[in-house]
Amino acid sequence: MFDTVVVGATDSAGARRAFDRALELAAASGATLHVVTSIPRKGEPPPYVPEEFRYTDAGADGPDWLLGQLRARAAKVRVDVAAHPVRAHPAEAIALVAAQEHADIVVVGTGSSRGTRHLSRVPKAVMDRVACAVLVV
């Protein structure tokens, strides 16, 4: 059904729902799951830190830690994961990875406000920017 599934990752209820659904789709299809997290553009990493050490679990910051946790969850159900920490706005980061990886589907979560789900600006922007199907959960 799908070969390439892309999902955005943050520490929010909507993003957790999206990751769960993307993981289910990837597991059922035998797809590779591409997990995208947006890295804030607040300055650049120190020049003395080699790129291969920027995104490790040891001493990782929030996005790095989150990607490590999601990789571990996917490994438990034997889904291949590619982590993509991207320095861009979340919708831009998701759209960039979706285009680069020729995504079949992008899964995004809704925002929540006082217990109700609503279509926030990130899913709207993703739908406007990608050429593939978008599943909003």
Q: What is the pTM of this model?
A: 0.82
Percent of the chain residues topping a pLDDT of 70: 78
Domain residues for the domain of 51 are 4-136
**pLDDT tens digits along 124-133:** 999 999 999 9
Closest CA to 97 of 45, 56, 42, 38: 38
Structure tokens at 93: 């980061």
**pLDDT tens digits along 74-101:** 999 999 999 999 888 999 999 999 999 9
How many separate domains does the chain show? 1
CB 15 within 8 A of CB 9: yes
* pLDDT reading at 55 higher than 70: no
CATH number at residue 56: 3.40.50.620
